[in-house]
Structure 1
Amino acid sequence: MAEITGDQRVQSEVLEGLATAVNHRRWFVELAIPYLGDNPIEIGSGLGDYVLEWAPHVPRFTATEADPDRLVALKDRLSGESNVEVRQMLLPQPEPERGDYSAAVSYNVLEHIVDHVGALRAMRDLVRPGGAVVLIVPAFQFALGPADIATGHVRRYTKKTMRAALTEAGLTVERLHYANALGLIGYYMATNVFRLMPKEGPMVKVYDSLVLPVTKAAEQLVRPPFGQSVFAVARVPGTPEG
């Protein structure tokens, strides 16, 4: 089984707090939509916020969660979504699973997994040839601080280290860039200098409502040389059927 570190209670509190960052979530939702295809699977769906945004865009969607308590809550929250299946999944799996999903999307999960290349290989195996693995991970190791440790982050990434992991997993990198440049500065100050947790509060609300829209607009014109996150799209080798 995968080695995932961190306090599940703290992780849940952070997920609940960040659920209020609506503009941030919608930005990252939009990044993945062009790559989802007709039958995507999300690895680590958490509370289901992204599922609810993505599901209307596809005929079928599979949500997954490793933590048993969050899995129960996820199933309850998504019970009314007729095109969504919910299943338990922890990567990398003891036995490889071959799937026919059009894409595997995983946001802010890979940094929790010690064997991250093994997890990427498992995502690759779940996706049909030509399909996409779509990721967002936290950026820059210097920003690793108490909040990261408490929520179970074992690493942060650069474009270089993300490319290396994807390539080692047998995937072909198609798109790779930083996102949310001002967010990195704010995150570092809040969590490393002031020792705060990234939870719901005035700082999150002000950033999400005032700063985030400007940052998003600017980054649609010019890709920044740094960011709070790395966004990656990689393809499963092979020719799509049909």
Structure 2
Amino acid sequence: MYRIFFEIQKKHWWFVTKKKIVIDFISRFLKLKADAKILDIGCGSGLMLNALENIGQTFGMDMSDDAIAFSKEIFKGQVEKGLLPDQVPYQTSFFNLITALDVIEHIDRDVDSLKKIRNLLADDGKAIITVPAYMFLWSPFDEVNEHKRRYTLTELHEKLIQSGFTVEDISYFNTLLFPIVYIVRKINNLLKRDGASDVDMPNKFVNYILTKIFGLELYLLRFFRLPFGVSIIAVVKK
């Protein structure tokens, strides 16, 4: 899966638009100085590292040697092996921004992991966290990616508060394509397909259309908290 992500992440509608949405949230909710310290936890195949590098001094962390190897092919900064919540190779109270994008759903101790993210932040530091939404969307894709759970917005909000964060904004997203995702997931479950189909690269026309539809949410999220979606995004403050 890391290889698949590495090969398609620069053009697949989901990865391209998700990155734009995260960067837009950073620009709206953080006023970072040029020497800001940024950590991307669960950096995977390096999707966010180059984009974050344009904002501040960026570091990466992942539990997978394969992921780190892919990240280092496209990112020259520091990427360390680590695992939330107990095996983190970075010092506490150090980072001005931490991104944990589709990370905590992989971890049994999600609240402890959120507390660790908080401890890694400098005073007034912020984190941007995304997770997959709704257990009724559970599919082989979640199993292939070793997910432990999917969240409701209320559940994630409660765990963020329990971890000591102040929640500045939280919303579902990937809302406009929710009906399509729901139907595809249910068909895949019925036909017992493996999860790889969720990240198949669509043809150029379909990919273009999906990118444009999903891309509308970048603007909607500036004015509204979306009422449902395939994923959840939260901005939290130490």
TM-score normalised over the length of structure 1 = 0.81
For 1:58-97, what aligned pairs fall within 5 Å after superposition? 58=56, 60-79=57-76, 84-94=77-87, 97=91
The amino acid of 1:224's aligned partner reads L
Aligned length: 222
1:157 positional shift: 1.2
Are residue 224 (structure 1) and residue 226 (structure 2) matched?
Answer: yes
Partner of 2:50: 52
Partner of 1:123: 117
For 1:1-242, what aligned pairs fall within 5 Å after superposition? 10-14=1-5, 16-20=7-11, 21=13, 22-33=16-27, 34-35=29-30, 37=32, 38-58=36-56, 60-79=57-76, 84-94=77-87, 97-194=91-188, 195=193, 196-202=197-203, 205-236=207-238
CA distance in 1, matches of 2:111, 2:7: 28
Task: Report the 3-state secondary structure (helix = DSSP H, G, I; strand = E; otherwise coil) of the residue aligned with 1:57.
Answer: coil
Higher relative contact order (CA 8 A, sep 6+): 1
Residues 74 and 93 (structure 1), Cα distance of their counterparts in 2 relative to 1, 3 Å cut: same
CA distance in 2, matches of 1:75, 1:159: 34
Is the Cα contact below 8 Å between 1:108 and 1:137 reproduced in 2?
yes
Partner of 1:7: none
Please list every run of at least 4 consecutive aligned residues from structure 1 whose deviation after the TM superposition is greater than 6 angstroms: none
1:114 positional shift: 1.1
Task: Report the 3-state secondary structure (helix = DSSP H, G, I; strand = E; otherwise coil) of the residue aligned with 1:197.
Answer: helix
Residues 218 and 125 (structure 1), Cα distance of their counterparts in 2 relative to 1, 3 Å cut: closer
Partner of 1:240: none
Is the Cα contact below 8 Å between 2:133 and 2:230 reproduced in 1?
yes
Q: Point out where structure 1 has 5 or more consecutive residues left out of the alignment.
A: 1-9, 237-242
CA distance in 1, matches of 2:38, 2:87: 22
Deviations 1:83-129 (Å, cap 9, x if unpaired)?
x3222221111589523111211111111111111111111111112
TM-score normalised over the length of structure 2 = 0.82
CA distance in 1, matches of 2:78, 2:235: 23
The amino acid of 1:76's aligned partner reads E
% identity of equivalent residues: 23
CA distance in 1, matches of 2:168, 2:219: 22
Q: Point out where structure 2 has 5 or more consecutive residues left out of the alignment.
A: none
CA distance in 1, matches of 2:184, 2:165: 35
Residues 199 and 18 (structure 1), Cα distance of their counterparts in 2 relative to 1, 3 Å cut: farther
